[in-house]
Structure 1
Amino acid sequence: MGRAADMLGTTQSFHRALGEARLITPLRSAGGHRRYSRYQLRIAARARELVDHGTPIEAACRIVILEDQLEEAQRINAEYRRAAGSAPPPTAA
């Protein structure tokens, strides 16, 4: 956790708060140390950006979750559009 905090210029308590808000849930090493993925570090960095601009941490976490959900929905929609574009057009009955 200390290394992740150093990388992002945050504190360990900030990362604990993100975990308590259920924004990120790091894996644990055999020794009990928190292990963050690159994706989780990107999410934490986005939350830090929002907090740095005055957004309360709980609201920042909710914003990041909603942004992530929107990105996923847009990706799925793009896949559907591509699939629909490659499918033969429906015939008139």
Structure 2
Amino acid sequence: MAANNLDNLDDLDYPAFTTGQAADLLGAQQAFLRSLDTANLLRPQRSDGGHRRYSRRQLQLAARIRTLFDEGHSLAATARIIGLEDDLTAAHDQIADLRSQLDNDTEQ
């Protein structure tokens, strides 16, 4: 059983970090993380006791959001930038898939 739990640590989406741990890793206040949850920018999972649990992917997003705030962007602008970055990543992935399909079709 313990091996399965340790295997989860390699999963970017495994909620391994408490709010305090996440704040320490980010060098931020716990209130910052709670505010991101309230604003629906970052939705951590909840433990059985209702406590927030953050994944490594969420910590990466929180760090990006904090950088945008530190650069002077508002909450609305930060949300829009993150959304556009996600859209751009999805478009790049789709282009790569289409190119791969095209390459496979031309090889046959």
Normalising by the smaller structure, the TM-score range is 0.7 to 0.9
Q: How does 1:1-93 map to 2 (within 5 A)?
A: 1-88=19-106
Q: Give the aligned length.
A: 89
Unaligned runs of 5+ in 1: none
Query: Highest Rg: 1 or 2?
Result: 1
Coordinate RMSD, CA, aligned:
1.5
**How does the TM-score come out when normalised to structure 2?**
0.74
Give the 3 Å change call, closer, same or farther, for CA 23–3 of structure 1 in structure 2. same
The letter of the residue matching 1:17 is S
The letter of the residue matching 2:35 is A
**How does the TM-score come out when normalised to structure 1?**
0.84
TM superposition outliers: structure 1 runs of 4+ over 4 Å: none
Q: What is the percent sequence identity of the aligned residues?
A: 47
What whole-Å deviation, never above 9, does each CA across 1:40-81 have from its counterpart, x for those lacking one?
111110000111111112321221122122112211211111
